Structure 1
Amino acid sequence: MSGNKLLSRISYACGTFGHDIFFMMVNTYFIMFITSNLFNSGDKAHDEYMIATIMTVILVIRIAELFIDPFIGNTIDKTNTRWGRFKPWVIVGGLIAAISLIILFTDMGGLTSSPMLYLIVFAILYIVMDVFYSAKDVAIWSMVPAMSFDSREREITATFARIGSVFGAQLVTVMVIPIVLFFSANKNGGVGDAQGWLAFAVIGGGISILGAIILGLGTKEHASALRQNKKETSFKEVFSILGKNDQLMWIAITFLIFCFGQDLVNAFQMYYFTYILGDSTVLSSLGVINVIIGLLAVALFPTLTKNFKRRKLFVASIAIMVIALVIYAFAGQNTVMCLIAAGLFNLPQPLVFLVVLMTITDTVEYGQLKIGHRDESLILSIRPLINKLSGAVTSAIVGFTAVWVGMSGGATADSITDANKFTFEMIMFATPIVFLIVATLIYKTKVKLTEEKHAEIVRELERTWGKDNK
């Protein structure tokens, strides 16, 4: 392997490392900051109303983005600069999104005392953060099909990228509580204070920006005649192009339902360790476990897909996650069993992500042959759109559940009743199992785009695309 190729892969991994730190901050820990610190005035009715309103605002914004993200992808597809198509969006989008999120991790200079004004400013800032985060997210993962047409080479590139993202995501889990508590003047039952959460946001946002810059400096797109479109996709054609790509739609539906199950468990874990086990610091131990097994799983991905193919790997991964949730549900307050179950649940997650990412990536050529358009960023915008929609829906469920079972404000493990603990555990474990099983059934019956099928498509494009494009 050439030094340039290795440098490109490492730079790409640095970008996804910082990007997934940001992703975890938004989708997992921002809601914990809101429920435990942002609204803790002592007026329980007011605090619960504000938490519920914020969750609703986030959900509405994320649903509205279902109609915005494809246009972001389409705009990126039309970008043509001397720095490439994607890197300007990665760097500028990352910078603006990080600054916006840091501000969201504050009370904005005491604006929470004026609820209506705070909600207006919050909504504007969240939209800015979300749009530029979307642009960065789409641009980063759209680079996979732009680097190579070979499925095997794409798997290796995506493996490097996912190693970076897994390390970043799990490092957040390791460091969030130590950072928050270190910078907090008030430990607040193990969830820290506003000062500690702001420090966490500044550190995470800074790493995200640095990763984007490294990616921009160290990566290069692959030039090919197959990446030259016959004509640009207009805004009017965006949803038509997506709708005609049936394999993209089925893998997207599969992934959305899978994410509902996965994200619910991941978002609830901090609450579980804080209010069920009564020791939030155990979350750092889980983060260390997840870093090790997550990196191991991702590193083995090319070997696993070579020996077992993506379809078998997907189904086996879901089976492991379901078994893990059953163990988790019966672990109770046994810390060791909880860590084993949580680690086992995390183990296949990066593998499922890579299977889905590779399948979505291959639908670029599938759609190119079927429809006559090559739309890299438009098609790759579907994956982050799904992650954000799932994150918004599950964050709303987590926020409302936290209020429902008394896990908000100044709550402690001792203040949660047995009935509320049972309700919480049913939502955390039983509901995700249903989602995971449904996702598997859809995948097995509707997703037909295999590695072999994709290779046939690429050969056909190489034979016909250049001639048709003349």
Structure 2
Amino acid sequence: MKNFWSIFNFAWGNVGHSALSMTFSTYFMVYVTTAMFAGVSKSQSSKLIVMITTLVFAIRIAEIFIDPIIGNIIDNTNTRWGKFKPWLIGAGVTSAVLIAIIFSGIFGLSRFNATWFTIIFIPAFIIFDVFYSFRDVSYWGMIPALTADSHERSLYTASGNFGGLGQNIVTIILVPVVTSVTYLFTGKHDEGQPGWTAFGVLIGVAAIACSLIVAFGTHEKKSALREVTKKKTSLKDMFWALSHNDQMLWTALPYLVYGFGNAATTGLMFYMFKYVMDKPGLFWITGAIPTIAGFFTSPLYPVINKWVTRKTIYSVSMCAMIVAYLLLIFSTDNLAVVVTAMILYYVPQGFIFMAVILTLTDTIEYGQLKNGSRNEAVTLAIRPMLDKMSSAISNGVVGWVAVAAGMTGTATAASITPGGITLFKAVAFWAALILHVLALLIYIFKVKVTEKKHGKIVDELQRQLATEGISGEEDSNRLAASHVAQPASEGLLPLASPVDGTTQSLADVVDENGKVGVAGKGIAIQPTNGNIYAPFDGHVVVLFTTKHVIGLRSDDGLDVLIHVGLGTVNMRGEGFINHVESGQSFKKGEVLLTFDRDKIRQFGYKDTVIVLLTQGKQVDQAHYTSEATVHHGDNLAKVQLK
């Protein structure tokens, strides 16, 4: 696989980040309610817990509305290192350092000086939250910059989700690390401040290392679709584009609803093992199950998705989680039932995440086609924004339930009342169950951007770009310069045959549906082999992600579009191999593409090669060859531009 190392490094980039995310979004409130205010009186600690819960909830909700702005800032970033790398490094290091400081209780102030703790905690948390968002948005926003192919995007997304095992590792090592370090410093076998401080430092170091790996181990690719939208986007234009991308909004809504329920359940899972089941030592199960599952779900998703649609994967996964909730509602005293529920609850989450993130990614091209605006980082900022909303709910709910149910400080399972357990189940399971059912229904009936539809959208976008001769400001300037430097463009421009075969008039071409005639100016060739050669010296204007169409521009300023096969867009690149990339220069006679003629026919399509002149009214006249048979390099046409 030519992109193996890029995908591998991308996966590592999320190991440290997902560990940091899980540490803060899920276990910060556990730390707050169990160790942050150790030594403070119960009444005072309860007040401080409520204060922290309220502050975190309010700040995170406020930060939510900044995430699209963060995405817009990233989208408007243009450096020689690319759009995302500066944020991956700078924001990644900053947020990692701050997580260690926060988990130190702001250097111990939480236990000795509540006033100064509060004064420092608020700005530290805001800065952490903002830079965490910059790092998160830039990471997932890279996917459409690394590839525009839907299948390759599934590989990157799957690898990123596989890198999410960092959050499961956190769950596994949390108790052992915290208790071991605490014992080392205090001689007590509990979750004390020394252990939490060491844990925060460990997570911070891992997050920094992984940010550097993804920053230096992946590279953005140039493409006409991205180059044409290099102009800066104002906040007004950004919000207009987002509000008019209905499929992005319908994809986001069920993920948000699902996230609310899932965040409440995940945040309260530790309390179930400690206060409901009285088995805190078994909490590692909730980390082991998704960790093991991650080794299978992430690599399996792209394989399954080749045969089963995203919507089907999402629906089956959601149904499994619904069954898990039913098991937890009616039986938390049977370990076998609980483990079964944990499997049904955690295993599908990777599939759900990948289905949603891929759908959101595909809505980038949907929005570009519909609104004429391409918002990569902004669109993918929606997902971390939704996660942040869920995290805010989780932190708020966990703190409230812990206090209301008496699950704080030195409380034990024996001290929890039946009313407390009922309250716990109502929030952690019943409410979450209802939200999951609602999310499933919304996704099934309102999300319309399927893999097949996305392929057609990208095909249409790139067809527009190639046909209209759009390839970005840089190419336009280069073309203008070439016309000045090369007066030959004012005469007849030569076009050689890009393939061996027999020639055919466009009017006589019969497509895969039996329709006669192809619109446009050009000529068709029935190939005798599967190689497409460069018909002149020039560069690639656009290479379709489905690889069956390539747009070229000669050094003399002639634009052509070579379309391999009829109906082959539905093959999604299978059977095609590109030997050049968008923007790459070539010499006449170089192999640009290879295609499997037998596979095309196996799919039921035709392998006819169409050569189109794409400069419309700029083409004054074209003289096509009268030869019935041509070899690559032979004269195919001479074109006069106005």
Relative to the length of structure 1, the TM-score reads 0.96
Task: Identify which of structures 1 and 2 has the higher relative contact order when contacts are C-alpha pairs closer than 8 Å and 6+ apart.
Answer: 1
Which residue is equivalent to 2:203?
204
Distance 2:237 2:46 in 1: 43
In the alignment, residue 367 of structure 2 is paired with which amino acid?
A: G
Distance 1:190 1:429 in 2: 31
Shift in Å, 1:66: 2.2
Higher alpha-carbon deviation: 132-141 or 330-339: 330-339
Q: Secondary structure at the match of 2:26?
A: helix
Q: Do the aligned residues in 2 keep the contact of 1:14 with 1:215 (CA within 8 Å)?
A: yes
Which residue is equivalent to 1:302?
302
Which residue is equivalent to 1:219?
218
Shift in Å, 1:437: 0.7
Higher alpha-carbon deviation: 396-405 or 62-71: 62-71
Which residue is equivalent to 1:105?
103
Cα deviation code 1:361-410 (max 9, x no counterpart): 00110111111111100111000010011101121011110000011112
Shift in Å, 1:42: 4.9
Distance 2:411 2:342 in 1: 24
Which residue is equivalent to 1:137?
136
Higher alpha-carbon deviation: 422-431 or 95-104: 422-431
Distance 2:269 2:172 in 1: 13
Cα deviation code 1:52-71 (max 9, x no counterpart): 11111111111112221111
Match of 1:169 among 143, 167, 170: 167
Higher alpha-carbon deviation: 407-416 or 377-386: 407-416
Distance 2:152 2:368 in 1: 19
Q: Do the aligned residues in 2 keep the contact of 1:84 with 1:221 (CA within 8 Å)?
A: yes
Distance 2:105 2:418 in 1: 33
Which residue is equivalent to 1:281?
281
Change (3 A) 1:81 1:231: closer
Cα deviation code 1:125-150 (max 9, x no counterpart): 01111101100000000111111111
Q: Do the aligned residues in 1 keep the contact of 2:289 with 2:342 (CA within 8 Å)?
A: no
Distance 2:362 2:54 in 1: 35
Higher alpha-carbon deviation: 76-85 or 391-400: 76-85
Structure with the higher fraction of residues in helix conformation: 1
Which residue is equivalent to 2:158?
159
Q: Percent identity?
A: 37
Cα deviation code 1:407-462 (max 9, x no counterpart): 11121222212221222122111010011011111112211111111111101110
Distance 1:146 1:355 in 2: 19
In the alignment, residue 341 of structure 1 is paired with which amino acid?
A: A
Q: Do the aligned residues in 1 keep the contact of 2:263 with 2:393 (CA within 8 Å)?
A: no
Which residue is equivalent to 1:403?
403
Shift in Å, 1:83: 1.8
Gaps of 5+ in 1: none
Instruction: Write the mapping of 1:45-84 to structure 2, written as runs, cut at 5 A.
Output: 45-84=43-82
Instruction: Write the mapping of 1:351-430 to structure 2, written as runs, cut at 5 A.
Output: 351-430=351-430
Change (3 A) 1:139 1:400: same
Change (3 A) 1:464 1:191: farther
Structure with the higher fraction of residues in strand conformation: 2
Distance 1:74 1:20 in 2: 23
Change (3 A) 1:201 1:273: same
Higher alpha-carbon deviation: 96-105 or 178-187: 178-187
1:243 aligns with 2:243: yes
Instruction: Write the mapping of 1:298-377 to structure 2, written as runs, cut at 5 A.
Output: 298-377=298-377
Q: Do the aligned residues in 1 keep the contact of 2:153 with 2:358 (CA within 8 Å)?
A: yes
Instruction: Write the mapping of 1:250-261 to structure 2, written as runs, cut at 5 A.
Output: 250-261=250-261
Which residue is equivalent to 1:6?
4
Q: Secondary structure at the match of 2:284?
A: helix
Q: Secondary structure at the match of 1:85?
A: coil
Which residue is equivalent to 1:269?
269
Change (3 A) 1:325 1:293: same
Q: Do the aligned residues in 2 keep the contact of 1:76 with 1:377 (CA within 8 Å)?
A: yes
1:32 aligns with 2:30: yes
Q: Do the aligned residues in 1 keep the contact of 2:155 with 2:302 (CA within 8 Å)?
A: yes
Change (3 A) 1:66 1:465: farther
Q: Do the aligned residues in 1 keep the contact of 2:267 with 2:395 (CA within 8 Å)?
A: yes
In the alignment, residue 15 of structure 2 is paired with which amino acid?
A: F
In the alignment, residue 430 of structure 2 is paired with which amino acid?
A: A
Change (3 A) 1:291 1:230: closer
Which residue is equivalent to 1:231?
231
Instruction: Write the mapping of 1:181-196 to structure 2, written as runs, cut at 5 A.
Output: 181-185=179-183, 192-196=191-195
Which residue is equivalent to 2:465?
465
Which residue is equivalent to 2:125?
126
Which residue is equivalent to 2:176?
178
Q: Do the aligned residues in 2 keep the contact of 1:8 with 1:219 (CA within 8 Å)?
A: yes
In the alignment, residue 341 of structure 2 is paired with which amino acid?
A: A
Shift in Å, 1:343: 2.1
Instruction: Write the mapping of 1:86-97 to structure 2, written as runs, cut at 5 A.
Output: 86-97=84-95
Cα deviation code 1:20-60 (max 9, x no counterpart): 00110011111100001112345222211111111111111
In the alignment, residue 140 of structure 1 is paired with which amino acid?
A: Y
Cα deviation code 1:186-230 (max 9, x no counterpart): 899975101101111111111111111111121111111110216
In the alignment, residue 211 of structure 1 is paired with which amino acid?
A: C
Q: Do the aligned residues in 1 keep the contact of 2:238 with 2:375 (CA within 8 Å)?
A: no
Q: Secondary structure at the match of 1:264?
A: helix
Change (3 A) 1:83 1:178: same
Distance 1:48 1:255 in 2: 33
Q: Do the aligned residues in 2 keep the contact of 1:273 with 1:282 (CA within 8 Å)?
A: yes
Distance 1:329 1:89 in 2: 43
Distance 1:424 1:306 in 2: 41
Q: Do the aligned residues in 1 keep the contact of 2:88 with 2:139 (CA within 8 Å)?
A: yes
In the alignment, residue 333 of structure 1 is paired with which amino acid?
A: D
Which residue is equivalent to 1:455?
455
In the alignment, residue 88 of structure 1 is paired with which amino acid?
A: P
Higher alpha-carbon deviation: 337-346 or 389-398: 337-346
Question: Between Structure 1 and Structure 2, how many residues are aligned?
Answer: 467
Higher alpha-carbon deviation: 351-360 or 437-446: 437-446
Distance 2:18 2:6 in 1: 18
| Structure 1 consecutive aligned stretches of length 4 or more whose deviation exceeds 4 Å | 186-191
Q: Secondary structure at the match of 1:430?
A: helix
Distance 2:115 2:436 in 1: 39
In the alignment, residue 195 of structure 1 is paired with which amino acid?
A: P
Change (3 A) 1:189 1:336: farther
Q: Do the aligned residues in 1 keep the contact of 2:17 with 2:210 (CA within 8 Å)?
A: yes
Q: Secondary structure at the match of 2:283?
A: helix
Q: Do the aligned residues in 2 keep the contact of 1:77 with 1:85 (CA within 8 Å)?
A: yes
Q: Do the aligned residues in 1 keep the contact of 2:34 with 2:409 (CA within 8 Å)?
A: yes
In the alignment, residue 435 of structure 1 is paired with which amino acid?
A: L
Higher alpha-carbon deviation: 328-337 or 31-40: 328-337
Gaps of 5+ in 2: 477-642
Which residue is equivalent to 2:511?
none
Distance 1:120 1:258 in 2: 34
Shift in Å, 1:268: 0.9
1:435 aligns with 2:435: yes
Distance 2:155 2:275 in 1: 41
In the alignment, residue 294 of structure 1 is paired with which amino acid?
A: G
Q: Do the aligned residues in 2 keep the contact of 1:90 with 1:212 (CA within 8 Å)?
A: yes
Distance 1:188 1:43 in 2: 22
